[in-house]
Chains A and B, each alone.
Chain A
Amino acid sequence: MEQSERIASFPHMGNYHVVVKALIKRILNMKVMTPPPITKRTIELGAKHSPEAVCVPFKYNLGNYIESLEKGADILFQAGGGCRFGYYGEVQEQILRDLGYEFEFLSFDASAGSSIIQIYKAFKNLNPEITISKFMQSFLLTMKMLKCMDEVEEYIRKNIGFEAQKGSFEKMQKSFLNELEKVKSLREIKEIHRKYKEKFEKIEIVKPDKPIRVGIVGELYVLMEPFSNYFIEKELAAYGMEVHRFITASHLLTKRKKHNERLAKEASKYIKYHIGADGTETVEKSKMLAEEKFDGLIHVKPFGCMPEVNAMPMLQRISSDYKIPVLYFSFDSQTSETGIKTRLEAFHDMLTMKRGEKK
């Protein structure tokens, strides 16, 4: 088959498809398909064909793959690294083959030593015309796009709960992502960043002097894919709370990297060692937020997620040492949405009451 007729696809995570699509398009001379937006069907499909006890990001990914394959994709990408994530690729590929699909599967497991050079080689196989300088250029561009997107979204997260006119942030966000998708140079990214920073700051917000601040910590996928966390950030904002989170793609790719030992040191009162995947940072950030006198913490994880379960005894201690309430959520493919809402409401009421008592 002609290279240019092939269609590449990849799993969803938040709005990052904008960036991933641009990257693949730039490097490979082929069509790129963003998987259909995640719906109930996506997760049902994913869960149906997944091992039952596997963590839920696996099920979402699988659902995305199936929906992309149905629409004609024939090259699938998977990242990976650490914990169970590094092994996702092999199992997912097997399941999809058993379902009878034909496709090529490319999996990059960072912990198994997929260095940037190896990634380059794999891409070079698919597109012999790519040069190392073009590849590195695209890579750099991608990182900048990520950074721009994460910064803009952080502003949104902190302020969307206070918008004067409902829906203004979301509308602006859409047009921002649309423009970001089309950027071709670092200069353009800079421009868009500047332009939208201004635009977002101009959106009218009505914010109390000291809004209730909650930090959201936990496992990366359910933190970053709103569908999987039942749009928890949106719910929190709807109560007029300021939401802070640190885990973003650019944070994971640049700041975090190999610094788990350092993070453990920061939180040495609670941990001596790295406790797996995002768990160490969950403890470290929770301690930091508690010290910064946040009103509350929300811990999110997929059901049975080992590193985050590992972090919970430490969170419980932080909660009692600093008197900071922590709300724990486990998400699976069949979590009850009303249950989540009720617990969030109760949490909000409690934080509000606690504020009152202090005065």
Chain B
Amino acid sequence: MKIGIPRGFLYFKYKYFWETFLKELDCEIVLSPMTNKAILKEGIDNSIDESCLSAKVYMGHVKWLVGKCDYILMPRIDSFGKCDKVCTKFNAMYDIVRNTYEGVELLDYNIDCVKGCTEFKAFMRMGKLLKKSKMQTYRAYKRAKEVNKEKKTKIAEEQEKLVQESDSLKILIVAHPYNIYDKLIGEPIVKYVEKLDVLPIYADVTSTKKTRIKYKELSSSLYWTYNKELIGAIEHYKNKVDGIMFVTAFPCGPDSMVNEICLRRIKNIPMINIVLDELQGEAGLHTRIESFIDIIREKKKVVKK
């Protein structure tokens, strides 16, 4: 059985989890390639104009997979708990895809903990759909959880170490993983930052155990889980970095408000808010980043004196 995974959206959050689970169930994985101009164009052509850039990219990846696999993996997520929700895009992506690409075969799973649809139940059901035994599915799920945890912990630890040991300028990048790790959208920004001798620190790789508590210090009524994780990382890192860079897709519902709260409440640390859209000119962006870094360097010099 060939299962397609679009290299967009939650892939960047759950890749170890999904890949291990499917491999343990003896499925072959077809991963769409890194985002390129052609994929983005397909995505734009098949999306409602006002969708966020990230959703357009995702639609492009799904299109690439059509006809190249038996099923395309498509999560549907609503809530992880009462005050733990996700952007409504993740409520709807399954149905959007189904209505846009007629006849496409999807392997969906639904997480809505408020209504009793837990992750465990969702994955057991998926195993059943793939005609695997309960035992095999259960083992695959456990194994996937383990691998995911190991990998994530390791990456988080490596970053912690880097933050402590490196004495280059450090910028905390606050961005959804699907935006910042995307080859076409976010990666060029990171590359540019690195070119300026700055060490990028990623908000999303911080241990969620820490971030899911710490976010409260910045915003008490926040209920988007993924945004909680990101701003929790700000609380965790704020004394260890020299600046904060928010990178968000246009038009993004949650970020438009959460970033506003951050920009208004965080004091004494330089911040920049970068909004990415499909028409983004590179030159203007580079100038902005460059002058942001310059300001931080100047500030540091003054402090040292």
Which A residues are within 8 Å of any B CB, using their own CB? 51-55, 58, 83-84, 86-91, 94-95, 98, 107, 109, 111-113, 261, 270-277, 279, 303-307, 309-314, 316-317, 330
Report whether A275 and B256 are in contact in the complex, using a CB–CB cutoff of 8 Å: no
Q: How many residues of B contact A (CB 8 A)?
A: 44
Q: Do A53 and B88 have beta carbons less than 8 Å apart?
A: no
Contact B92 A303 (CB under 8 A): no
> Roughly how many angstroms separate A130 CA and B224 CA in the complex, as a whole number?
35
A112 to B83, alpha carbons, bound, how many Å?
6
B88, B100, B222, B251: the one within 8 Å of A279 (CB): B88
Whose C-beta in chain A lies nearest to the C-beta of B102?
A317
Residues of B within 8 A of A316 (CB): 99
- Given A51-B260, A94-B264, A274-B91, the answer on whether A330 and B50 have CB atoms closer than 8 Å is yes
**Cα separation A313 to B99 with both chains bound (whole Å):** 6
| A–B Cβ pairs within 8 angstroms, 24 of them | A53-B250, A53-B252, A54-B257, A58-B257, A83-B253, A84-B256, A88-B257, A90-B261, A94-B264, A95-B264, A98-B264, A111-B85, A112-B82, A112-B221, A270-B95, A274-B78, A275-B91, A306-B52, A306-B88, A307-B88, A309-B50, A311-B92, A313-B96, A317-B99
Whether B92 pairs with A275 at a CB distance below 8 angstroms is: yes
Task: Name the residue on A nearest B90 (C-beta).
Answer: A276
Q: Complex: how many Å from CA A51 to CA B275?
A: 12
> Could you tell me the distance in whole angstroms from the C-beta of A107 to the nearest C-beta in chain B?
7
- Asked, given contacts A272-B95, A273-B110, whether A310 binds B221 with beta carbons under 8 Å apart, the answer is no
Q: Hey, which chain B residues are within 8 Å of A51, CB to CB?
A: 256-257, 259-260
Interchain CB contact under 8 A, A55 and B253: yes
Q: Which residue of A lies closest to B96 (CB)?
A: A313
Q: Taking the complex as formed, is B98 at the interface, i.e. its CB lies under 8 A from any CB of chain A?
A: yes
Q: A87-B222, A112-B82, A313-B100 are known contacts. Are A54 and B256 too (CB-CB below 8 A)?
A: yes
Q: Are A91 and B88 in contact (CB under 8 A)?
A: no
Taking CB atoms, residues of chain A closer than 8 Å to B254 are: 84, 87
Whether A272 contacts B98 in the complex (CB less than 8 A), given A306-B87, A306-B88, comes out as yes
A314 and B95 form a contact (CB under 8 A): yes
Asked if A303 contacts B221 (CB within 8 A), the reply is no
In the bound complex, what is the Cα–Cα distance between A98 and B78 (angstroms)? 33
CB <8 Å contact, A276 and B92: yes
**B223 near A: Cβ within 8 Å?**
yes
In the complex, residue of chain A having the shortest beta-carbon distance to the beta carbon of B83: A112
Smallest Cβ-Cβ distance to B252: which chain A residue: A53
Q: Is B131 an interface residue (CB 8 A)?
A: no
Q: Name the one of A87, A309, A330 contacting B221, with C-beta atoms under 8 angstroms.
A: A87
A37 to B220, CA, bound (A): 32
Taking CB atoms, residues of chain B closer than 8 Å to A111 are 85, 223
Residues B219-261 near A (CB distance < 8 A): 219-224, 250-261
Which of B78, B94, B220 lies in contact with A90, CB distance below 8 A? B220
Contact B261 A94 (CB under 8 A): yes
- The verdict on B48 contacting chain A, using a C-beta distance below 8 Å, is yes
